[in-house]
A and B are shown apart, each in its own frame.
Chain A
Amino acid sequence: MLEITNLRVRLPVEGQPRTVIHDVSFAIGAGEAFGLIGESGSGKSMTAKAVARLLPEGAACEGAIVFDDRPVLELGGEDLRRYRSHDVAMIFQDPRASINPVRTVGDFLTEAARTNLGMRRPAAEEKAVALLAEVGIADGGRRLRQYPHQLSGGLLQRVMIASALMGDPRLLLADEPTTALDVTTQSEVMAILGRLRAEHGVAMLFITHDLELAGAVCDRIGVMYAGSLVEQLPSTALHEDAVHPYTRGLLTSRPSVTETVRRLPVIPGKPLSAFEAPDGCAFAPRCPHAIDTCRDEEPALVDDVRCHRVGDI
């Protein structure tokens, strides 16, 4: 349904074009959940923004994003509006930052349906209340009259999910939707997202820094480093079969809730953005397995892994 091929994005920073996405390719099938993982600056949020066509002004994209045979990067005018209102919806990390604090929850939930889908207010409100019930908010009618500050973070994120589903999208772009929430609330919100995806047949691009969370809720996982997708694998294979040294490093450097180790294995150095990356493999300076080839030649994505040493380690 969604296919991204060799996506490359440059953004102007102080007049200079800077690469924020170097080379990203992956596909998401209808109803599938794809987890995109990476540290800050890896380009995971930019990838989602490119898919939603929400990149900042002046961004230059190369490569292709195809949604149902439509070239997303070339859409304009009415086609783009239709794509954004009917096909994709986005949920952001901080619900409080993406809702107007002086308008009611009802205004927020029904605005898009009234302007884009031409629904009358009572019909839109009826749909909103039904969706609120689906995300576990029983007294939807009352909630529609409330303001954002009267709702907790967890409730507000459920309102965001309901709002994303108002246009019956086929692809949900969820950018760290539970990072600002408590763990028990995160568990609830992920359960709701999982159920709704199953019931409505919605596909999801789930962006997170939490490998374990992505592994638990997604079908497949893509790991990003310095603007490139470095490994892609089924979630079930995450712990056993991940081979890229960066993926392995991420898995082992996280402390475990079930055991204490004397020292955590660390990935030395700090994560890089695409424009800071050296020639060759971007991960080479931090990689324990790097050899001269890694520093000189950029590895290609072969069998879903971007690493020169994949056969040796």
Chain B
Amino acid sequence: MAPILEAEGLRKVFGTNTAVSEVSFALRRGGSLGIVGESGSGKTTTARMLVGLEAPTSGRILIDGEPVGRVRSTARRRARARQIQMVFQDPYSSLDPRQTISSCLEEVLKVHFRHTAEERRRRVTELADLVGLDERMLRGRPGALSGGQRQRVAIARALAAEPEVLILDEAVAALDVSIQAQVLNLLADIRERTDVSYILISHDLAVVRQITEDVVVMYQGAIVEAGPTAQVLDDPQHDYTRRLRASVPGPGWVPGKALATKDAS
């Protein structure tokens, strides 16, 4: 079966800066792919190209085997939006503070589907159930919700369009440890219950280990290592991946030890 999403030789140049060069990967249907790297590594620019927020300078993106071209008509742009949805890092700035949660979800449904009012309400309840939001929260506005609850809303809103691929851009990074675990379990549940695929953009290797099967490591705009997540993290081959891996605190960790290999890179 063709991968649900493929990037082929993606390249993005801003002025004289090359943000992303020669990035290629494939996400299998129902799979979960991590993109790791630090600030400036090009991981977010890559994600923005995947959802169409940036146009690649060169290279192409294929969804379900079909190359995605420059879309001019509203209908085609919507069709593409339905296929890929994105969840952003900050649950505080990605929701409209004046809109109730149910109207926020309904709005997405109105754009993408021709539901009757009754069908739409039922679908909102389904989505709320999927991410663990109750009736009271649906009637409220984002201000009444905690960070973890808002991130559930953002995930429900992304799922409302019934996308093939969900791009999670540091989607659990801003959450408290105990809430982060709840959202990570939720993401695992959703993938089991629907056939959505994930691309997880993260700098947190432990989160990547928990919810992805494959990973690409980006450094200065290029992929330096790729493979099954467990293999890459347990036996990193590239010097940068080793340095990244050695920077994760844990029992017996000594800060700065990872730097010993820095000069070799």
Contacts and interface: CB of A to CB of B under 8 A. Distances in A.
A264 interface: yes
Interface stretch (B4-12, B51-59, B115-123, B200-208): B200-208
Contacts of A254: 177, 180-181, 206
A183 B182 contact: no
Interface string A245-277: 000011001111111111111111011000000
Contacts of A190: 255-256
Contacts of A293: none
A255 B181 contact: yes
Contacts of B245: 257
What class of interface size applies to chain B in its complex with A?
35 or more
A302 interface: no
Contact of B249 (A215, A249, A263): A215
What class of interface size applies to chain A in its complex with B?
35 or more
Interface in A181-236: 182-188, 190-192, 194, 209-213, 215-217
B185 A264 contact: yes
Contact of A256 (B178, B209, B255): B209
A311 B53 CA distance: 56
A250 B178 contact: yes
Contact of B181 (A40, A153, A192, A253): A253
B38 interface: yes
Interface in B208-265: 209-210, 229-230, 233-234, 243-259
A261 to B, nearest CB: 7
B210 A215 contact: no
A39 interface: yes
B203 A264 contact: no
B209 to A, nearest CB: 5
A121 interface: no
Contacts of B180: 253-254
A194 B230 CA distance: 31
A70 interface: no
Contact of B230 (A192, A250, A260, A270): A260
A255 B255 contact: no
Contacts, number: 129
Contacts of A270: 146, 148-149, 176, 178-179
Given A266-B185, A267-B178, A259 B209 contact: yes
Contacts of A253: 177-178, 180-181
Interface of B is mostly: helix
B254 A267 contact: no
B256 A188 contact: yes
B205 A257 contact: yes
A239 interface: yes
B148 A264 contact: no
B220 to A, nearest CB: 13
A264 B210 contact: yes
B39 interface: yes
Interface string A145-163: 0000000010000000000
B185 A257 contact: no
A261 B253 contact: no
A235 to B, nearest CB: 10
A183 B207 CA distance: 14
A187 B244 CA distance: 10
B190 interface: no
Contact of A264 (B184, B251, B253): B184
Nearest to A236: B251
Contacts of A257: 205-206, 209, 233, 245, 248, 250
B184 A255 contact: yes
B188 interface: yes
Contact of A266 (B182, B234, B258): B182
Interface string B144-171: 0011110000000000000000000000
Given A187-B256, A257-B209, A270-B146, A264 B181 contact: yes
A210 B249 contact: yes
Given A210-B249, A212-B251, A250-B178, 18 more contacts: A39-B179, A153-B39, A182-B38, A184-B38, A184-B243, A184-B247, A187-B247, A187-B256, A256-B206, A258-B209, A264-B184, A266-B181, A266-B185, A267-B181, A270-B146, A270-B148, A270-B176, A271-B176
Interface of A: 39-40, 153, 182-188, 190-192, 194, 209-213, 215-217, 239, 249-250, 253-268, 270-271, 286
25 contacts: A39-B177, A40-B147, A183-B244, A183-B248, A184-B38, A184-B243, A184-B259, A187-B259, A190-B255, A191-B259, A194-B256, A210-B249, A211-B177, A212-B249, A212-B251, A212-B253, A253-B178, A253-B180, A254-B177, A255-B184, A258-B209, A260-B210, A261-B210, A264-B210, A266-B182
